[in-house]
Amino acid sequence: MLFCFVINLCLYPKIIYEGYNLEQFKDAEEELVGSQRNARRKKVSKFLNCLMFTGFIFWGLKLDPEKIRVANLPLSFWIILQYIIGLICLGYIANVIIAK
């Protein structure tokens, strides 16, 4: 998940507007851009928002295909890849728990 998070942090504004359309994250980003907070608080807020977004994609059990924008194929592929890697990790964790 850390690898996905670092890439998402670099692509964060682009990925929420052109990749996977989640209104809550778009609203949070627009509020953050328009706010009067100091630069450090904005960076911390962006960091936390991106971490939640990555967790939502990576650990999510359901990816809404209607919200994926296929106009930007590399971003769409990246979102689906994160989701698949997350499902594999969840399956592995479930296997470890069931095997014990």
Query: What are the boundaries of each domain within the chain?
Result: 2-99
pTM of the full predicted structure? 0.77
Distance CA 52, CA 54 (A): 5
User: Per residue in 47-86, pLDDT tens?
Assistant: 888 888 888 888 887 777 778 877 888 888 888 899 999 9
Q: Are 67 and 21 in contact (CB under 8 A)?
A: yes
Residue type, 62: K
Q: Which residue has the higher pLDDT, 36 or 83?
A: 83
95, pLDDT greater than 90: yes
